[in-house]
Structure 1
Amino acid sequence: MTDAQLRGLLLDCLKLWQVSGTISAGADGLVIETPGGRFTVGRADPASLPARWFYQTPRRAAAKRPDRAAPSIVALLSALRNAMEGEGGDRLFVGRS
């Protein structure tokens, strides 16, 4: 996934989560500015496997805690949505109702 693709995915997620914000390139990845604060997302070094991504939240930064690792894009997006207190979006159910 390129940085441009990741940025596009995150922009779509912000809309889905109903979180207003902007995304820009930072020194070590992407910077997401929201009313709730500044979030960062960066790629993990290949030597850091199984971690694939690292992210920082305003709460973790205020506590001077290191970036948190995420093993997949799904884990990264879930963690960001929870930290941003975003909406969950519509759920699709397959089967009888």
Structure 2
Amino acid sequence: MTDAQLRGLLLDCLKLWEIGGTVSAGVGGLVVETPNGRFTVRRADPGLRPARWFYQTPWRAAAGRPDRAAPSIVALLSALRNAMEGTGGDRLRVGRL
């Protein structure tokens, strides 16, 4: 996934989660600015596998704590949605009624 694709995905997620915000390129990653603060997302170096992504929340940054690791894009997006207090969006259920 390129940074441009990740930026587009994060912008789509902000809309789905009903959070106003912007996504821009920052030093070494992407910066997500929301009313709840500034969140950062960056790729993990290949040698750090299984971690694929690192993210930082405004509260962790203010406390001087390191970035959190996420093993997948799904884990990253879930963690960001929870930290940003976004809505879950409509859930699709597949199966018999």
TM-score band, normalised by shorter chain = over 0.9
Name stretches of at least 5 consecutive residues in structure 1 with no aligned partner. none
Percent identity between matched residues is 82
Corresponding position of 2:25? 25
3-state DSSP class of the match of 1:15? helix
Name stretches of at least 5 consecutive residues in structure 2 with no aligned partner. none
2:68 is the alignment partner of 1:68: yes
TM-score (normalised: structure 2): 0.98
| Backbone CA RMSD of aligned residues | 0.6
CA offsets 1:42-94 (integer angstroms, 9 cap, x no match): 00000100000000001111111000000000000000000000000000111
3-state DSSP class of the match of 2:55? strand
Displacement after TM superposition at 1:96 (Å): 2.2
Corresponding position of 1:46? 46
TM-score (normalised: structure 1): 0.98
Corresponding position of 2:35? 35
Give the whole-Å Cα distance in 2 for the aligned partners of 1:96 and 1:51. Answer: 37
Corresponding position of 2:80? 80
Aligned residues: 97
Give the whole-Å Cα distance in 1 for the aligned partners of 2:11 and 2:75. Answer: 17
